[in-house]
Amino acid sequence: MQSDIAENITSLRARLDGTGAQLVAVSKYHPVPALRQAYDAGQRIFGENRVQELLSKIPEMPDDVCWHLIGHLQTNKVRAITGKTALIESVDSEKLLNLIDKEAERAGVVTRVLMQIHVAQEESKTGFLPDELLDYFHARRYENLKATHICGVMGMATNTDDTSRIRDDFRKIREAYEAVRAMCPDLSGFDTISMGMSGDWPIAIEEGSTLIRVGSAIFGPREY
Ligand SMILES: *Cc1c(COP(=O)(O)O)cnc(C)c1O
């Protein structure tokens, strides 16, 4: 019998076909057997939001899984996660970015990251304001990074049913991304816009997302 998880992966992939966007299966709070069902359906990118949970799942899953950290990274956990992720999507401050860089250099690895942009109308969401992000790139402070590759941006829309507001938020994220590209044409491999979750990813795709992060629409509701 085919699992719902496999069916969900297959139908999401069919809907993404032709968009060029990739799918992150957000597996936080779900047990390893659920991740395995997704893996067996061909899914290779998994997103977790807590360092401990991510680290505990790595040895339980095949080696070719690409792990994305999508939640806030505390500075005291940076060393533990260094070298373990394909992408840290949730770099929400310059201080964190510099620490990630220091630890990557120390470990002799390159850490790939996205800059998290704050556009939603909620105080709880973290990240760079668009202007802060532009300041960072305008001052070319990324040139000081030694072992970190900034691959693009990540953001979340306001948690609302108002689709025009959601679309507006996604547009702001894409505009910040494009402003950085225009300002720093030399920035290589800055090509990722991670936006869109279970409830809003089709809008995100219309607004230029290249990476969607989908949890409950694959694995069902989370039990916290
Ligand atoms: C949990 C989470 C998601 C996935 O949310 P769903 O609504 O379950 O798809 C996406 N992005 C981030 C940053 C998350 O924390």
The sign of the CA dihedral 17, 8, 89, 197 is: positive
The answer to whether 74 and 49 have CB atoms below 8 angstroms apart is no
pTM: 0.97
Helix (H) or strand (E) holding 26: strand 22-26
Q: Is the CB of 160 under 6 A from ligand 1?
A: no
Is 72 near ligand 1, meaning CB less than 6 Å away? no
Binding site membership of 88 for ligand 1 (Cβ less than 6 Å): no
Which atom of ligand 1 lies nearest, measured to the CA of 28? 1
73: burial class by Cβ within 10 Å (0-12, 13-18, 19+)?
buried
How far apart are the C-alpha atoms of 116 and 88, rounded to whole Å?
10
Please work out whether the CB of residue 54 comes within 6 Å of at least one atom of ligand 1.
no
Whether residue 45 contacts residue 22, with contact meaning beta carbons closer than 8 Å, is answered with: yes
Q: Is 176 in contact with 208 (CB distance < 8 Å)?
A: no
- Of how many residues is the chain composed? 224
Model pLDDT, residue 108 = 98
Q: What is the pLDDT of residue 223?
A: 77
Say if ligand 1 is within 6 A of residue 154 CB: no
Predicted local distance difference test score (pLDDT) of residue 72: 96
| Rounded CA Rg of the chain | 17
Beta-carbon contacts of residue 222 (< 8 Å; ≥ 6 apart): 28, 29, 30, 215, 216
9: Cα within 13 Å, side-chain hemisphere? 23
pLDDT at res. 157 = 96
Ligand 1 geometric centre to CA of 215 (Å) = 6
Residue 147 neighbours by CB under 8 Å, 6+ apart: 101, 104, 105, 109, 110, 111
C-alpha to C-alpha distance for 195 and 90, rounded to whole angstroms: 12
Residue linked to tokens 């916290």: 224
Residue 73 Cβ inside 6 Å of ligand 1? The answer reads no
The pLDDT tens digits along the chain (224 residues) read 457 999 999 999 999 999 999 999 999 999 999 999 999 999 999 999 999 999 999 999 999 999 999 999 999 999 999 999 999 999 999 999 999 999 999 999 999 999 999 998 877 778 999 999 999 999 999 999 999 999 999 999 999 999 999 999 999 999 999 999 999 999 999 999 999 999 999 999 999 999 999 999 999 998 77
3 state SS for 31-55: CHHHHHHHHHCCCCEEEECCHHHHH
Residue closest via CA to ligand 1's atom 12 equals 70
